[in-house]
Chains A and B, each alone.
Chain A
Amino acid sequence: MSTVIRFSGDSGDGMQMVGNLFSESVAFAGYGVFTFPDYPAEVRAPQGTVAGVSGFQVHFDTHAVTHEGDKCNILVAMNPAALVAHSKYAAATATVILDSDGFTKESVAKLGYDIETIVEELALSECNIIEAPITQMTLDAVAECELDRKSALKCRNMVVLGITLGMYDIATDYAKKFIEKKFGKKNPLVCKANIAAIEAGENYAKNTHLVGETHTEKGVSALAKGTYRSINGNQAVAWGFIAAAEKSGRPLFCGSYPITPATGILEELAKHKALGVKTVQAEDEIAGICTAIGASFGGALAVTTTSGPGLALKSEALGLAVMAQIPLVVVDVQRGGPSTGLPTKSEQADLLQAMYGRNGDSPLVVLAAHSPADCFDKAYMAAKIALERMMPVVLLTDANLANGTEPWLVKRVADMPSITPPIVTREELADKAECFNERGLFNPYSANENLARYWAIPGAEGLEHRLGGLEKQPKTGIISYTPADHAAMGALRAERVERTAALISELKIEGASEGDMLVLAWGSNAGKVCEAAAQLHSEGKAIAYATVDMINPLQAGLQEKMAHYHRVLVCESNSGQLASHLRSTTTHKDICSVASMEAKPFEVEALREAILTNLNLN
């Protein structure tokens, strides 16, 4: 049975750290795991306030896990504010572990509750409440390390780590090794204290017989064989680009402006100068994409990373990349909108912006990643399409993918698909008369069999040419406003995009091969949507489910397979944007929508209900 643990405490309590260490220890022990950090937008809201509560949810199981889980089975609350803020995430019969040292009459009253009745008031009556003296345990455990009280109390999260790992009989070696690496040399006393805290927590769990629900096949993993590491979506995107750069032989360039929740990609890429990665922290979002366009003109694999508000600012330049046929990947790590919106919350509401948010008919490829590890593959494929087909590609991820982690089956660059950009020299084009005008000058918009513009990179002798945002004559690139040329170029721009469908694998349908309903998901919701649909299918419903990874052009097979079901149901965190897109681009007559505008992750339970409701609609 699957387990969901949520750690909650003050922003400064180290909940992200304990969450990460717990999930990595669990993964190291062979479980499938998926994490979801849930932190406030404020860097450090006042201590002890509900606004300042930071959470981290871990979902693990003996098989691969595709989402962060619904309600938690175990809720850890480091103080009363954390309990108040996150009690709503606890399952009805959850085990709630709280630091009893922090639950005083006064501290509880400050939040407007009565210490005698807070459990009932928060609807936790049926929960198993474990009042653990975490603060005192910490102080006792680290007493020998001669730390001041403030430093000693920083080890409270390690006591919690020890307790939770102990409950599931998961080895603490991984966590201890991590602590030794982090503090061992720099601060031996802090290192010793943290390890003592982990052990104190572990002993507490063992001594009090605190046992989580058991995983019968504990440690026997159903994951595919190989080397794994924990990866979040932002890191995976960055690494996907690094792999694509090496494979294609194009140096990697990232021009970006910091924006939540995309900044992690720029930060990650900035580290890897040893791999030749160049990053420019631009003066604004527009300069982010423009520096990337310039680098691409110079022959780089160029990317820019942003979130919804930044994509809005990049629109005009993205249109230039469409017009001038510039290879470029734009990553939009979606957050709640519109405007500044909900910077730390996830939403899928930039789909139509990515599709249509430019002046003129300006088609481009839109890909969507569906899990943190999938962000690697999608970034790689986005780069492949951009480089091989000489066009901009928008890759949609979201805040949940960016910050969520899961085990990634590490790949070697040698095993990845080839990337062959249409780079040319004058000699290579010598026998292609159509590539040159009557004066022997290069026709910059001449293209290969895939309609990809030949990539003549500055420095290539005899291929000097001019690109630009003005409408051109096909092939020659001479500025032209004639109706025929504009129509021809417009058709070409559309056709170029359509042909990229061949580069992404066909839509994979699971469940019934035909029947009442096809449930479609995309982005970070895919894991939960597919799980809910899979449950209903296994209960005998004639439904199927699939994750859409390529939205423009429509993923191969999608349109044909939709025809095998009476109804198509699209579940997404927006007002129904993919559903609306499918209604306008496919011939299916019955496309329904489960559209959540709460900017919070779906829950499997609620999805089951929603799917059933739509299944039974006339």
Chain B
Amino acid sequence: MATKEYTANDFRNGNAVKWCAGCGDHAIFNSVLKALPEVAERLDIPRENFAFISGIGCSSRFVYYMNTYGFHTIHGRSAAIATGLKTARPDLSVWVCSGDGDSLAIGGNHFIHACRRNIDLNLILFNNEIYGLTKGQYSPTSKLGKVTKTSPFGTIEEPFSPAVLAIGAKASFVARTIDMELDLTKEMLVEGACHKGMSVTEALVNCVIFNNKTHADYAESKAIREERTIRLRHGEKMLFGANKEKGLVLDGLHLKVVTVGEDGYTLDDVLTHDAHSEDTALHTMLASMRYPEFPVAVGVIRDVARPTYDSEVTRQIEEQQTVKPNMKADDLFFGGETWKVE
């Protein structure tokens, strides 16, 4: 598998992209196209070893625009189908494109079990907090009280945070990005793809038609993002704000936003991000932060090493093949208790 040099264009098949103008999915698509040449290089695999699996929903149309192997499957099941593919073919780079309805409602079970198993998939969770393809019903991530066609008096359900759910299910890599942050998205995707094990990248995307500006409070402009989101980097202080003047500290068992140099808080008091910590407690707190009480965390929230499902399957097979070398079906069939009729 001699590595070729790819460009973003090598990974798109030229089909007309049919998302609505202004949809956040366009931005993610472009970030993916930019990420793949780098992933191919870093993993040393050719284009034909990439497979994109999707479920149902706007974001799941993704695969039809890619010039890789792809499978547009059924609602909610992309993680399960990708699990089978990766188990059978550990040599492939397997990607899952899924939405908040696809992965957290109808496919919630497959999502959490893929995280738990730590199968080496790269799952992009397009979180627009709405059902777009069915034209505007609330989703499991819609903010409490959200008025939609199926919640004309506001939702009465507490939403999931995809990143929190993934961490709770022991995903080994969890990141969050924002559609407009193309470079950040690309970086998260490359990191996630090179991470051995399940990577979940929650992409906060805007649905311009049915849920416009749902992330606007903290994502609308660069200036707003600087003040209302916090970019986490492993080994760096948790600082945010235009001048990095604000930071996160632990106050008892809770996170607290402080201004460095005020109220007696110094830089030393500000937490340092440890994405590699096995313990999920702080990662969960960071992923749970909501605007306006807190900045919304973006970047790699969690990145820990643990054995992957697919490599463990391979290991067990290799072990058994060492114990019983060159075994064939005939050895099984004619072995054990048999008798002859002459």
Contact = CB atoms under 8 A, between A and B. Distances in A.
Interface stretch (A187-195, A220-228, A591-599): A220-228
A18 to B, nearest CB: 16
B328 to A, nearest CB: 7
B63 A466 contact: yes
The size bracket of the interface on A is 35 or more
A499 interface: no
> Is the contact region of chain A dominated by helix, strand, or loop, or is it mixed?
mixed
B153 interface: no
A275 B329 contact: yes
A317 interface: yes
A282 to B, nearest CB: 7
B341 A225 contact: yes
A227 B338 contact: yes
A375 B296 CA distance: 57
A46 interface: no
Given A225-B342, A464-B68, A469-B72, A287 B321 contact: no
Nearest to B51: A458
B340 A228 contact: yes
B337 interface: yes
A564 interface: no
A390 B119 CA distance: 27
Contacts of B317: 273-274, 276, 278
A313 B323 CA distance: 38
B83 A294 contact: yes
Interface stretch (B41-49, B132-140, B297-305): B41-49
B337 A229 contact: yes
B276 interface: no
Interface in B111-157: 113
Contacts, number: 199
A230 interface: yes
Given A225-B342, A294-B81, A467-B71, A242 B66 contact: no
A439 B73 contact: no
Interface stretch (B86-94, B182-190, B226-234, B287-295): B86-94
Given A291-B81, A300-B88, A239 B47 contact: no
Given A284-B109, A297-B71, A320-B73, A27 B81 contact: no
A295 B88 contact: yes
A468 B73 CA distance: 5
Given A282-B80, A283-B109, A459 B92 contact: yes
B87 A291 contact: yes
A385 B27 CA distance: 44
Contact of A463 (B14, B48, B110, B339): B48
Nearest to A467: B71
B85 A297 contact: yes
A460 B91 CA distance: 13
A464 B336 contact: no
Contacts of A294: 53, 71, 80-88
Interface in A459-487: 459-470, 479
Nearest to B81: A294
B88 A274 contact: no
Interface in B19-73: 46-49, 51, 53, 63-64, 66-73
A464 B67 contact: yes
Interface string A408-437: 001111100000000000000000000000
Contacts of B14: 439
A24 interface: yes
Please indicate which of the listed interface residues A224, A280, A292 has the most CB atoms of chain B within 10 Å of its own CB. Answer: A280
Interface string A121-152: 00000000000000000000000000000000
5 contacts: A280-B84, A413-B328, A464-B70, A466-B13, A467-B72
Interface of A: 24, 27-28, 30, 178, 221, 223-230, 239, 242-243, 245-246, 251, 253, 255, 272-276, 278, 280, 282-284, 286-287, 290-300, 302, 316-317, 319-320, 324, 410-414, 439, 441, 458-470, 479
